[in-house]
Amino acid sequence: MKNIIAMWSGPRNLSTAMMRSFGNRSDVTSVSDEPFYGAYLKKTNKNHPMIDEIISSMNTSYKSVEQICSTEVESGYSYHKHMSQHIFNYDSLDWVTNSINCFLLRDPDLVVASFLAKWPDGELEDFGFIQQHKIFNIISDKVGAPCPVINSSLVLKDPESELRKLCLKIGIPWDSKMLKWSSGIKDYDGIWAKHWYPSVMTSTGFVTGGVSSNKPLSDKARALSDQLRPYYNDMVKYIIE
């Protein structure tokens, strides 16, 4: 039985709260926070906050990280939080077939606004939608069925219902510990947590409600979101019911 749960997301997409949720399960024995981040920054040299610290603290070999991410744990489950934009060589995605692959979506208006507030230099490829869409199609073709898709806004509206559906879909038991966790930094957090995760660091569960913003997007944000929306719309069709 496969015991690696790989959650594919883009940035600013509830992915860290989802990592907290799965990391709090009784049967999850290891958690990996964006394992390809160091390799991605080394390859692209994108001037992300803490770039030098991240590269020096992580395995920066794509092949090596792929091998690590396809190695099952001896007991329980291993949860991997993957950022889709970190992947470049789609021909090498055979390693993902050893995982239970899930996809986390969020409306591009919300993603773009949140990301640009943290890193104003963000460009189209930084938001992960294009890469996530491609990875979704490749893996779904490999396994012969659409991979499970979950919408972060629906999770915020009703965490228990959405997480129960996801657990049922991927064949793992429901664990109520997924709804609440202790605040603070976790030993599995990347060293970038202090920059990107301030709200999650103080959280003890999903913050229900408040899933949308009435604040108008800047011209740059609107142009980016409009280009990303077709990829989002295509994947929304596969949200679990």
What is the DSSP code (8-state) at residue 188? T
Residue 138 within a domain: yes
Asked if 131 contacts 84 with a C-beta cutoff of 8 angstroms, the reply is yes
The stretch 74-84 carries a mean pLDDT of 96
Q: Is the pLDDT higher at 17 or at 212? A: 17
Residue 33 lies in a domain: yes
Note the pLDDT of residue 182.
Answer: 94
Distance from the Cα of residue 15 to its chain's centroid:
4
241 lies in a domain? Answer: no
Q: What is the pLDDT of residue 107?
A: 96
Is the predicted pLDDT of residue 1 greater than 60, yes or no? yes
Whether residue 93 lies inside any domain: the answer is yes
Q: Write down the pLDDT at residue 212.
A: 55
Calculate what percentage of the chain has a pLDDT beyond 70. 97
Indicate if the pLDDT at residue 89 is higher than 90.
Answer: no
Confidence check: pLDDT of 112 > 60: yes
pLDDT given at position 51: 95
Question: Within a domain: residue 195?
Answer: yes
Tokens at residue 52, please? 């030098």
Alpha carbons 212 and 113: distance in angstroms, whole number: 11
Q: Is residue 45 part of a domain?
A: yes
Q: What's the rounded Cα separation, in Å, for the pair 206 and 213?
A: 17
How confident is the model over 162-196, as pLDDT tens digits?
Answer: 999 999 999 999 999 999 999 998 999 999 888 77
Total number of domains in the chain: 1
CATH assignment of the domain containing 95: 3.40.50.300
- Residue 122's domain comprises 4-236
Minimal CA–CA distance to 96: which of 120, 132, 61, 123?
A: 132
Share of the chain above pLDDT 90, in %: 79
pLDDT, position 61? 96
Neighbours of 146 (CB within 10 A): 16
| Phi, then psi, of 81 in degrees rounded to 5 | -95, 105
* pLDDT computed for residue 208 by the predictor: 72
Structural contact between residues 130 and 228, judged by C-beta atoms closer than 8 angstroms: yes
* Tens digit of each residue's pLDDT (9 = 90 or more) over 52-63: 999 999 999 999
Instruction: Give the global pTM.
Output: 0.93
Structural domain includes residue 50: yes
119 band by pLDDT with thresholds 50, 70 and 90: confident
Check pLDDT > 90 for residue 236.
yes
**CA separation, residue 113 to residues 7, 27, 135, 162 (Å):** 22, 35, 24, 24
The CA-CA-CA angle for residues 93, 96, 97, to 5°, reads 110
